[in-house]
Amino acid sequence: MRRFFRTYLPFSRAGVQMMLAYRSDFLFHLIGEMLMCIVMYFVWFAVFESSNGSTFMGFSMTDMTVYLFISFVTSYLTYSDGAIALGEEIRDGSIVMRMIKPVSFDMTFLFQELGGRCIEVIIALVPMCVCVEAYKFCVTGSVMFNPVCFLLFLLSTVLAYLVSFYFNVCYGFTAFFLKNLWGSNVLKDAIISFLSGSRIPLAFMPPLLQGLLTFLPFASLSYIPVMIYMGMYDGMTIFKSMLLQAFWLLAFWALSKLIWRLAMKRLCVQGG
Amino acid sequence: MIYVDNITKEFKKTIKQPGLLGSFKSLFNPKTEKIKAVDGISFHVPKGEILGFIGPNGAGKSTVIKMLTGILTPSSGTCSIDGRIPQKDRKNYVREIGVVFGQRTQLWWDLPLTETYAVLKEIYEVEDSAYKRKMELLNEVLDLQDFIKSPVRTLSLGQRMRADIAASLLHSPKVLFLDEPTIGLDVVVKDNIRRAIAQINAEEKTTVILTTHDLSDIELLADRIVMIDKGRNVFDGTVGELKQNYGQMRELNFELQRAEDKALLDYGKHFGLGEDDLKVISDGVNVTVRFNSELVPVGDMLSYTLSQVHLSDISVKDADIEEIIRRLYKKEVRIDA
């Protein structure tokens, strides 16, 4: 185990350094996403203003605000694009440079990305949670921070990230057929942002669709951690939801291994 | 050390029909053909030897290297390196080898060179003291200190190649695979790299397999040559043996006093030489004659030339390995055609 971390932690360190090398790019991206989030806030604000009751589908404006910002930071943190690079490397054959090293490919990508995630937790997650809690205090006049919920939220976010990572590894392999991932990537992100509830809470969907979407892997990507953070789930639901996340993690992990083995056979074609 | 026994590698190639409709057709009903990239190659490399692995483009050199490094699996046949099968237990096998693909890099593009080395040190579990010693040695032979703190993307090709070679040697591999390590480099850097390879080979008894298109790499470094073409062994032996076996091509260069004297010379008819053994190139008063000195002694060639025409200058050039190999490549093409 120690050897495992000794081998892969340098990848995380390199990931941090690479992020710092392109720090302005990272900051602009973060600011851009933030602005989008603020726009969404005003859209929902207008919806609540024009509706008759103070709640909408069981959400108050305060709930909605917390949902928007926590959901934003969760999907930001669980977004994984290192695996797209894997697809690129398979396509152009530079994957061989990883194969001549005594390491696992998915682990090198995972740890490299985790390095960057550590910085994002400090720069994005911590300030965001502080702001959200301060906002809740201002509106309700009492401290409602629940450390147990927060810890469970963190755990669920880690699971969500891993599901996202292996989902994207599988997606990265489509590079074999699609040759260029940019266009399909935009499509995939749009579908995910809708189906995972990161734009509109799944609770707002028609019951049938909601039931279906809760079990699909997309809810595991950000909706479950956010619900846990907001205290919307009771103990049993939290347990079941995390189990579901673990199931999808296992499923995508196994699928990625299977595809990898098939991909190795195809890799022959790219040789030469 | 390295045993390669009758390995072959077949690729399935999808034949794409032209047009969008064709693309769809081949998506559902792909037509494939089998291509034998490597067809029964065998050789053996003893420990500490530098083997030059040559052949024209598309001969299957890279495919063989990829099978020896465990990236590709042979369709049939076996190879073993230091008693290990590359495809089995890949992670442990690659600890023993170093690989440089001249066209790719194993360095981290955006990070200073030292960071790549630090990551490699952990991956290969190199001890601190051994790492320090190794870095000093590599610094000395490859001159890394000027750019070791710069991000890799700012390095020139020559610097990058030196850095890549150093990266592949950090863990003191038993076998070093170099796939075109001097591609696109200037003479000084080539020389630097050749000296480094020779020194590492001498000091650490590292076995080296080297593919290249630059034949001076072979002449200066390789103890032995294995030449392949169209996936088959064509030659296996030393550079000296190659020169002996494949005829002594000599080059006669002279300058005529009068350009129209050229008509007086007909080497082919006089000596009865075929196209393979004779080539005459002329440009104004300058004439170059390449001929097989086993069939026609140099003296006969000279006396015939001098008896026919008046010259203002003449020189004879020694057998050139490049010429031999050019002939060898060409011959192979003819046999198959």
What are the residue ranges spanned by the domains of chain B? 2-8+38-243, 248-318
Compare all CA atoms of chain A with the CA of B10 and give the residue at the minimum distance.
Answer: A268
pLDDT for B330 beyond 80: no
Q: What is the pLDDT of residue A269?
A: 45
Q: Give the residue among B194, B226, B152, B173 at the shortest CA–CA distance from B4.
A: B226
Of B9, B92, B111, the CB nearest to A102: B92
Partner-chain contact B106 A101, CB within 8 Å: yes
* pLDDT on residue B275: 78
A2 within some domain: no
Instruction: With a threshold of 0.85, tell me whether the complex ipTM lies above it.
Output: no
pTM of the model: 0.78
What pLDDT is stored for residue A176 in this prediction?
Answer: 66
Residue pair A214/A153 in contact by the 8 Å Cβ criterion: no
Phi, psi values for residue B253, rounded to 5°: -115, 130
pLDDT at A222 over 60: yes
Name every chain B residue with its beta carbon within 8 A of the beta carbon of A268.
9, 11-12, 72
Confidence of residue B26 (pLDDT cuts 50, 70, 90): low
More confident residue, B20 or B201: B201
Bridge partner residues of A207 (DSSP): none
A–B interface: beta-carbon pairs under 8 A: 84
Contact B91/A102, CB-based, under 8 Å?
Answer: yes
> B248-318: what fold?
Alpha-Beta Plaits (3.30.70)
Domain assignment present for A45: yes
Q: Do B125 and A271 touch (CB under 8 A)?
A: no
DSSP A123-181: IIIHHHHHHHHHHHHHHHSS----HHHHHHHHHHHHHHHHHHHHHHHHHHTTHHHHS--
pLDDT band at residue B337 under the 50/70/90 scheme: very low
Q: What does the alpha-carbon distance between residue A109 and residue A174 come to, in Å, rounded to a whole number?
A: 17
Q: List the end-to-end C-alpha distance of chain A, in Å, as a whole number.
A: 37
Q: How many domains would you assign to chain A?
A: 1
Per-residue pLDDT at B159: 92
Q: Do A7 and B105 touch (CB under 8 A)?
A: no
The distance of A4 to chain B (nearest Cα, Å) reads 10
CA distance B86 to B173: 14
Confidence of residue B47 (pLDDT cuts 50, 70, 90): very high
The 3-state DSSP class for residue A203 equals helix
Question: What are A149-185's pLDDT values in tens digits?
Answer: 889 999 999 999 999 999 988 888 777 666 666 777 8
Residue with the larger pLDDT of the pair B119 and A2:
B119
pLDDT by residue (tens digit) across A202-218? 888 888 888 888 888 88
CB spacing of A96 vs B104 below 8 angstroms: yes
Residue A268: pLDDT over 60: no
Kind and range of the H or E element at B122? helix B113-123
| Nearest residue to B167 via CA among B199, B128, B203, B119 | B119
A3 falls within a domain: no
Across all residues in chain A, what is the average pLDDT?
A: 85
Superfamily of domain B2-8+38-243, CATH level 4: P-loop containing nucleotide triphosphate hydrolases (3.40.50.300)
Mean pLDDT, all residues of chain B = 85
**Chain B contact set for A97 (CB, 8 A):** 101, 104-106
Binning pLDDT at 50, 70 and 90, where does residue A17 land?
A: confident
| Mean pLDDT within B120-137 | 92
**Percent of chain B having pLDDT more than 90?**
25
- Interchain contact B227–A (C-beta under 8 A): no
**DSSP calls for B204-245:** H--EEEEE-S-HHHHHHH-SEEEEEETTEEEEEE-HHHHHHH
Lowest mean pLDDT among A31-35, A87-91, A208-212, B310-314: A87-91
CA B80 to chain centre: 22
Res. A63: pLDDT tops 50: yes
B124 close to A102: Cβ distance less than 8 angstroms? yes
Tell me what pLDDT residue B140 has.
87
Check: CB of residue A181 under 8 Å from CB of residue A172: yes
Determine whether the interchain pair B106/A269 forms a contact, defined as Cβ–Cβ distance below 8 Å. Answer: no
Nearest to A11 among B11, B105, B119 (CB): B119
Which residues on B lie below 8 Å from A14 (Cβ)? 108, 111, 115, 119
Q: A100, B63: Cβ pair inside 8 Å?
A: no
- Find the chain A residues whose C-beta atoms sit closer than 8 A to any C-beta of B: 3, 6-7, 9-11, 13-14, 17-18, 21-22, 93-94, 96-97, 99-104, 267-269, 271-272
Are the CB atoms for B289 and B315 separated by under 8 Å?
no
Q: Which residues of chain B have a CB within 8 Å of the CB of A270?
A: none
Give the pLDDT band of residue B336 (cuts 50, 70, 90).
Answer: very low
Question: Closest to A271 (Cβ–Cβ): which among B63, B108, B124?
Answer: B63
Q: Which residues of B touch A10 (CB under 8 A)?
A: 118-119, 122-123
Q: What is the pLDDT of residues A116-161, one digit of tens each?
A: 888 888 888 888 888 888 888 888 888 777 888 889 999 999 999 9
CA distance A268 to A85: 19
Closest C-alpha among B68, B67, B163, B177 to residue B120: B163
pLDDT exceeds cutoff 90 at B129: yes
Q: Find the helix packing angle between A82-92 and A235-270, rounded to 10°.
A: 20
SS3 state of residue B272? coil
Domain-located, residue A42:
yes
Let me know: does B74 contact B8? Beta carbons within 8 Å: yes
Strand ranges of the sheet holding B175-179, from the earlier edge strand across to the other edge: B97-101, B175-179, B207-211, B50-54, B224-229, B232-237
Chain A residues closer than 8 Å to B62 by CB = 271-272
Nearest CA in chain B to A10: B119
Chain centroid to Cα A84, Å, comes to: 14
Tens of pLDDT, residue by residue over B134-158, are 999 999 888 899 999 999 999 999 9
Which member of B91, B95, B122 has the closest CB to residue A10? B122
Beta bridge partners of B313: B255
Please give the residue range of the domain that contains residue A28: 9-49+56-270
Taking the Cβ of residue B105 and every Cβ of chain A, the question of whether any pair is shorter than 8 Å is answered with yes
Ramachandran assignment for B58, one of left (phi > 0), alpha (psi -120 to 50 degrees), beta (any other):
left
Tell me how far apart the alpha carbons of residues A67 and A200 are, in angstroms, rounded to a whole number: 9
B310 close contact with A: CB closer than 8 A? no
Confidence of residue B97 (pLDDT cuts 50, 70, 90): very high
